[in-house]
Amino acid sequence: MSDPAGRHDLVERLRRVSPSTLGHLRDNGLIAGLEPIVRPLRMAGVAATLKATEYGAPGLVELAEASGPGTVIVISRPAGSRRTNFGGVVATRLVRLGITGVVVDGRVTDYEQLVELGLPVYHRGLTPIVGRRTAEPAVTGVPLTVDGVVINPGDYVFGDSDGIGVLTPYEAPGVVELLEEAERRERETLGSLGVEADSAHRVLLSNFSN
């Protein structure tokens, strides 16, 4: 994926703000039904989407290769499936490709490996039941609905320990300015109460810096 002017900067700015700040402004574009693989966690990137089959996700690594660094891979699994197509081996390959996060609307496996890798991952649960080789193709580059939120390829996806926010490319530049200003005011308020809000925030960001 090409890196249009401002894309990298916008991703970095979104990585430093919280979906809950967006939640003070509106209800839409917020995903609360998935769990982060570990807390604390920070994630931001541009969405690349894949609709998996029951038994696998053919084309996942190829999608990551085509999308490139700064991408958040969004995977939709069949509703109610106890299987997964996402674990430690695939995650390791995605890390090496510069993928900045994975959102799985379904289960994952290899919990310890995922935690050790440090790749931000959101999921609906864990499972030992994994996929199989299949000729049935997955579908990439299509809109997906996750927790009632539509995610289109190219949308900006950002997350922390509380959940995930989704912004369209059109709205993202303006919204991130609103979020930055809101969090600046919040820090000022906390400072007036004698709370050093920035210290913990800086530690968190350093843990997830590129």
What pLDDT is attached to residue 174? 96
Q: How far is CA 142 from CA 11, 30, 113, 117, 153, in A?
A: 21, 19, 29, 28, 7
Instruction: Give the chain's domain count.
Output: 1
Query: 76: closest CA among 143, 134, 141, 144?
Result: 144
pTM above 0.75? yes
Residue 2 lies in a domain: no
- Does the pLDDT value for residue 10 go beyond 80? yes
* Inside any domain, residue 1: no
Range of the domain at 130: 7-207
64-100 pLDDT per residue, tens:
999 999 999 999 999 989 999 899 999 999 999 999 9
| CB neighbour burial string for 59-85, b if at least 16 within 10 angstroms, e if fewer | ebbebbeebeebbbbbbbbeeebebbb
CATH number at 165 reads: 3.50.30.40
